[in-house]
Amino acid sequence: MGRIYSVLRISEIMKDIISEIIGRVKTEIKDQAEAVTAGSNINSFDDYKQSVGTIQGLQLALDIVNEILTEDDEDNS
């Protein structure tokens, strides 16, 4: 019974970590988007492109994580 508990506990810990990562990435996307909208640290078109690229990269990472989680859910159903 201890081994099953350990596997379940590890699964819970992983879900907590993944949830934390997703939350932080979403917050960073929001913060970056607000900074771009407000013009914070945007002194040139290159600064703007870099900020937008950062947002796009974060969104891509979030999309990949969500895709993996969706695939995992489908495999378990």
User: What's the rounded Cα separation, in Å, for the pair 3 and 66?
Assistant: 29
pTM given for the model: 0.79
Q: Which residue has the higher pLDDT, 2 or 56?
A: 56
Core vs surface per residue 3-39: b (16+ CB within 10 A) or e: eeeeeeeeeeeeeeeeeeeeeeeeeebeebbeebeee
| Model confidence band, residue 2 (pLDDT cutoffs 50, 70, 90) | low
| Model confidence band, residue 60 (pLDDT cutoffs 50, 70, 90) | very high
Give the model confidence (pLDDT) of 5-50 as tens digits. 687 888 889 989 999 999 999 999 999 999 999 999 899 999 999 9
Give the pLDDT mean for 54-72.
93
Cβ neighbors of 77 (< 8 A, separation 6 or more) are none
